[in-house]
Structure 1
């Protein structure tokens, strides 16, 4: 029987771990917070991240990473981008101590500021290659709040090792949760990261009172920017037309369950970025990704007007309405 260690007990990590546990997979979920571990084990809840949800009694939470990882076939990292290096370094030490090799996967959607590295690249820099047989990413249209309720969900598992992605696929597959596989790790990671940028903008539009015409225009032109960045970095264009691309963009860009959408919506209602971040109490990956992609375009001759507009709003204190006007009155062009 496959054993999985999930590192990170936020909403998405918990939802994925719970999905596996309900499939009778042996799952340990690691958290550095002892109170959270106790809550999951004793009350079968994780109320801060998934209020009202009841978790499988088969899901075991652990505060000691070495205990969580010991004898695991798969290690799935589900922590914010800014925590990838520190958690990855801890994992490297654990795997070295255990003299263990695993299938290593993640379900984090972001890019590192400054370096513009994808999550798998960050992992490669901190976890020795001899301790994992392959790298994979779980991406696609999948809000944790819906997954935990058993809503019908399809995701994409990107990776170059078919045997490894098949193992992950089997641990997650159920009547309510359908995982597909693809061979484009790079494109899958970029789709998951870049759609958060567009979701912020979509929330802002709705917060300002604009309707579905505006949302549809933003999501469609946002997909063009996502594909443009992806191709520049070497991703397959068709990946952006699948679950890891347009699928994730639709659900993140149109649902109040998306923290990026909610953050944008609150800013559209007049709140500052600092107020929004303080009130939400969760990482808003799109905020950091906007900065990373804006910096990337500066040195790679890309035309990303939506990303640029959002950068101006988030980091230069520009007014959202002014940036919308600039976008709508740019020189006319053919659709690309």
Structure 2
């Protein structure tokens, strides 16, 4: 039986590795540093990012990329989006040294590359060998890492332009608490997952500033409208944005206590500085970088996104939260269908 390889031993990568091993697949979890690898191998858990979940018997760890890719049937890309291109360059270089069949790739990161505005499946297609480029999928949907690791019921969606790849990954993931759906709209899956992080920070700001439940519901609803408008302008399907990768992930991330992006927003709403918040977290909150990407894409596409623009002003232009609320509530009146 060929291996499932997970690149990136953060909380999400670790949870997916635990799930794959629990499904009975030989699983290899790759981390960048020998120190982290040694600690995980000795303790049989990821004490840094997901300490409460012991590793199943079939899960091994490595910091050797060549070893990680050897015999891999599926490579789960759990690297944060800002490091994905460099990681895929290394993967491509490794496969250039061996005569091996192309694995399938499942993108688990939810982000847009800031400099190029490329989504992650575009990054993989640009960097991987030609024979690998048709074997890419993206994972979306409401799925906190700790709940997946615990085996709690979770529904996700696998987006791939190749039906065989999508259904193969669907079958591999489904079971032991996870039910996976498939779609050929990989773009919608990726954009929904990336943009919802921005709205989650906005919802968190509302909670941190004590703006109330009405405000949170309004942010989620209007945020979905903004996400959908931009994603559809880029070629995504409306149904994807109203499904697990869009609405489902948005609701979870805007309301769940385990959401990093919401926690960043809560702290901002309480008056803390962004640099201080990120230093205290010690984990990646994709929404900070995704705000810049979403803002630039909206400008490029000519799409109006008041919440995203306001989040950009708060994060990168120093706008105060109270001023931001006044600006949003004081916008020109219009019909709801005009957004």
Which residue pairs with 2:114 in the alignment?
A: 113
Distance across 1 between alignment mates of 2:266 and 2:13: 25
Residues 1:283 and 2:284 aligned together: yes
After TM superposition, what 4+ stretches of structure 1 lie above 4 angstroms from structure 2?
A: none
The 5 Å alignment of 1:32-111 reads 32-100=32-100, 101-111=102-112
Q: Could you tell me how far 1:2 is from its partner in structure 2?
A: 4.2
Structure 2 residue aligned with 1:261? 262
Q: Structure 1, residues 9-57: CA drift from partner, whole Å, max 9, x if none?
A: 1100010111010010111111111122223222111111112222212
C-alpha separation in 2, matches of 1:332 and 1:13: 44
Distance 1:99 1:222 in 2: 47
Equivalence for 1:10:
10
Contact 1:11-1:50 within 8 A present in 2 as well: yes
Whether the 8 Å CA contact 1:103–1:132 is kept in 2: the answer is: no
After TM superposition, the score normalised by the length of structure 1 is 0.97
The 8 Å contact of residues 170 and 182 in structure 2, kept in 1 or not, is answered as yes
1:117-147 deviations in Å (ceiling 9; x for gaps): 1011111121122235411001110000211
Give the TM-score taking structure 2 as reference length.
0.96
- Which residue of 1 is the match for residue 165 of structure 2? 164
**Partners in 1 of 2:24 and 2:300 — Cα distance?**
48
Secondary structure at the aligned position of 1:201 is classed as helix
- 1:44–1:57: 8 Å Cα contact kept in structure 2? no
Within 2, Cα distance between the matches of 1:52 and 1:235? 37
1:26 aligns with 2:20: no
Q: Which residue matches 2:215?
A: 214
- C-alpha separation between the residues in 1 aligned to 2:141 and 2:242? 11
Are the aligned partners of 2:23 and 2:176 in contact in 1 as well (CA < 8 Å)? no
1:7–1:75 contact (8 Å) kept in structure 2: yes
